[in-house]
Amino acid sequence: MTPQAASPMTRPIHVDDIKMRGTRVTVQAAPAERAGIADLLGLPALESLEARYVLARNGERVKLEGEIAAAFHQTCTVTLEAFPVTLTVPMSLDFAPELPELPRRRGDRDEAEIDIEVRLNEADPPEPIVDGTIDLGAVTLEFLALALDPYPRKPGAVFAEPAPEPPPESPFAMLARLKRGE
């Protein structure tokens, strides 16, 4: 998850407020927040957005489980008409304290080289806990954005291919007709 400078919805929760056995949190977007989110995501309207989470601490780490429910309108890529959509997205995330920046030594170059090895069979690395807080609003917004259909189609909308145009007559075909006397 990447932090946004001006997110239309923020719900920070401090890690110290999260119980080891679990803390239940409900996030609901207010009308002004829904308007900002709809504008940010290019939706004609966002009627409702609610997320229900259970957060549990395990030492310095936090496990988030829950689901997001949203009702909104999207624009059909075939007919360009807005149509209603309801969406329920289950989610699970792990959070861990942000890693401190390593001190630079005098001999280090300006551009550090870092080798990153990606292993596809391992779980995603935990999201960072920044300044001891987790922004549930930003988490909700990010998962909603990821769940949106990038090419929404209104139910029943069918794309009709235009009839192919006949190829233009070549100049040599015209000369052949003239030669035959047509």
d(CA 182, CA 178): 6
d(CA 122, CA 111): 29
Kindly state the helix (H) or strand (E) to which residue 66 belongs, with its residue range. Answer: strand 61-75
Does 36 have pLDDT greater than 80?
A: yes
pTM of the model: 0.74
Which of 139, 127, 133, 149 shows the shortest CA–CA distance to 9?
A: 139
Whose tokens are 């001006």? That residue is 6
Does 3 have pLDDT greater than 90?
A: no
Mean pLDDT (the chain) is 86
State the average pLDDT over residues 85-114.
Answer: 76
Helix (H, G, I), strand (E, B) or coil at 134: strand
pLDDT band at residue 39, thresholds of 50, 70 and 90?
Answer: very high
Q: What percent of the chain has pLDDT over 70?
A: 84
State the average pLDDT over residues 102-118.
Answer: 59
Does 166 have pLDDT greater than 50?
A: yes
Beta bridge partners of 12: 135
Residue 169: what pLDDT? 80
Residue 107: what pLDDT? 57
Kindly state the helix (H) or strand (E) to which residue 173 belongs, with its residue range. Answer: helix 171-180
Which of 34, 98, 27 shows the shortest CA–CA distance to 64?
A: 27
State the average pLDDT over residues 132-151.
Answer: 95
Residue 175: what pLDDT? 83
Kindly state the helix (H) or strand (E) to which residue 31 belongs, with its residue range. Answer: helix 31-41
Sheet of 82-97, strands arranged across:
23-28, 45-58, 61-75, 82-97, 127-129
Does 2 have pLDDT greater than 70?
A: no
